[in-house]
Chains A and B, each alone.
Chain A
Amino acid sequence: MSRPPPPPAPTHLLRSHSASVSTLWISQDNERIYSGDASGNVVVSSTRSLRTISAWNAHTDSILGVEEFGSSVITHGRDNKLHVWNRIKELPASTRLGGSAAVPDLPTPELVCSMDVNALNYCRFSLLPLSSGEDSDPAALIALPNLVDSSTADVWFLPPKDRIHAAIGQETNKPVFATQPDSGRGSHGIIMSLHLYTSTSDESGPSRSSAMPATALRLLCAYEDGSVILRRYVRSDRPTSVEGQGWEVLWTSKSHVETIMAMSVSRSNTFSLTVSADNLIVRYDLISETEPKAAVHRAKHPGNSSIAIRDDGRVCAVGGWDGSVRLYSTKSLKPLGTLRYHKSNCQALAFAHDKPTKEDLGGGADEKIEHEEDSDSDDDTTASDRAAISRWLLAGGKDNRVSVWKLMSFESSSTTMT
């Protein structure tokens, strides 16, 4: 930091939670912040008004993940449930009455469907939307830890809730009730984080047809023992699999000495970063599918619990157990700055998205109207506002608060914070 004190401070704080914030997500169009807390409450806040749009008790236990999925919201809780809710449409600003910090009865979204999942290992789901054009309902693949064996992963197809791939990563075919209970388990321990994506190098991408993605599917798993494994599905003839058959390990990399606490994959799926209880930040090249290319960076601070990569893939934020958020350049892992607000463990991080894309799944008809209206009335300010919002970093801490940081763009100089 070229400038000594005063240190940066969060621009805003969201105090809508009464338990520690466990997960954060921001909608593609940067309009809504989703935050889940340890008591199972999910709060949707508007980025414009910083006020709650909707808040409900989605789960009876800590929320592992929230994500928008078309016009619905998927929540994943430690109560071994995965719920899909109808998203609450925010009324256009013109019809809204005066905003208030204390709206007595916020709408609660309606539960569409639920799945029983295994949430033993605190591992968040990974959603891979299959954009099947504008006509049909959105479909997606969702990766989750296996229902029985936490060291393996399942891939489900939504909305029908079909399990397509089961127990990916199962090493042996031993029955669960074997003489050695652990022998069926993977040697890497339970999955800590997973990410499902389709390889861009593969031509048969899943996006153009509603057919099952076959060989383009990749699954990146981070494990308890600190290793990261990239797998791909090889059986192009069979869209489904059981017991991990057909999934081939592309590479395995074990750089962490401790359990991986968080993994983040860049938006373009070109690299991923992991943090763990140790002081290492490891960068994995996902383009290389033949051998692991892991770059280990020794950070100064051990004990990191969350990581997020910005859309442009240049900057990442690492949340530590000390509550600080540290920003690094993803290329060199050079530290860019420290954001200190939370007193204890910063458990969730989310970057706002670069620029709202056109085919955002998020924007419903109502919102489009709202946008048009707004762009009529205050184009300039909103444009600048949005530019500002797109530089937001959200951090959720154990202190029940979500802090909003306005970062500089890091375009020109990358040493100071705004």
Chain B
Amino acid sequence: MICWGQKQQLKRQRIKNMTEILQCLAGYRPTTVNGPAQEQKCRIVSHFQSANLKSVREVLSLPAVDVQRLTGLAHPEVHQLLTAAAHACRRHAPLSVLQLQRGECCRCESGLRLGVSCPVLDGLLRGGLPVGGITELSGQSGAGKTQLALQISLSVQYPVEHGGLGGGALYICTEDSFPIRRLQQMISEQANLRSEVPSSLIRGLRFSDHVYIEHAADLDSLQVCLSRRAPVLLAAGLVRLIVVDSVAALFRSEFQAEDWMERNKQLLTFSSMLHQLSQEFTTPVLCINQVTDVLKDHDSLGPLSSSVTPALGLAWANQVLVRLMIRRLQKTVSRGDQSSALRQLEVVFAPHLARSKCEVAVWREGVRGVAAFE
């Protein structure tokens, strides 16, 4: 057997995560024929110690040539170390989509959706908001974004069979103060909005107790909220929805036009925190965004259906899974003693939805889609 090896030095030092490395090497069969397996494992471990690599993740974050240089191991042994580390890092083996459909893996895409308390809108969204990514809702001021966000904060509290997720909502305000009166009004009219749900169930749900309101006036407090308070609420199962109203406010106000690189970096940090929370706790995240005018000769990110585009540019758009836009139309619609300006809710892009629109109106009880035949 031709040996690639070089001279090896045995150093006895204490390392952190020694047990981790031994565990991940324990189940791994070495492919070399020379020498007993145990001796080879000790050699790999000792080289690992001397390289001052602290964890399995650190081993995988470096290119293979760097690992080889740091540990001084031969190429096949570096490969063994990396493969053992990969086994330790892996959360689950690849599973077929058929198994996914049958619900054999709860961590993966399960098709679970958060309904928005309106059958027309649920039809537009094919069930509701997906639980595994960021849904963005953008529009001009007064279009109805906060109204819809409040409605979804209530619909999440219903049990799963009624389109909710059986948990509360964490509502992070960055602009105005929280519209508490409007929320109270919507809570009192829930029986009207959700007429298909037994009223005893609605009476039993204590809606206002389960909406956790946070005010974040700047980026630092937003980071603190997402990194400290949100995980506690999510881990305890108290919260199954995160709403950020709005995303644009903080990023547009704290950065000048020239600081766009720093802004993008902060935006990426913020969105990766949201993604982490969303994935770990299978929680939908709804971000409300402002709009900005479309510049002439601007590289289009989509067919121009209106003169405005969501703010924060391409860097933010790349993080978003489902993009919705809402805008006011010139028409009004009336029903009984109420009248409402008509809005249009449009699906701009989503992996599972066609580009489609529907008309919505805002009533006392909440936001309702206007069905086609009405």
Answer yes or no: do A and B interact: no
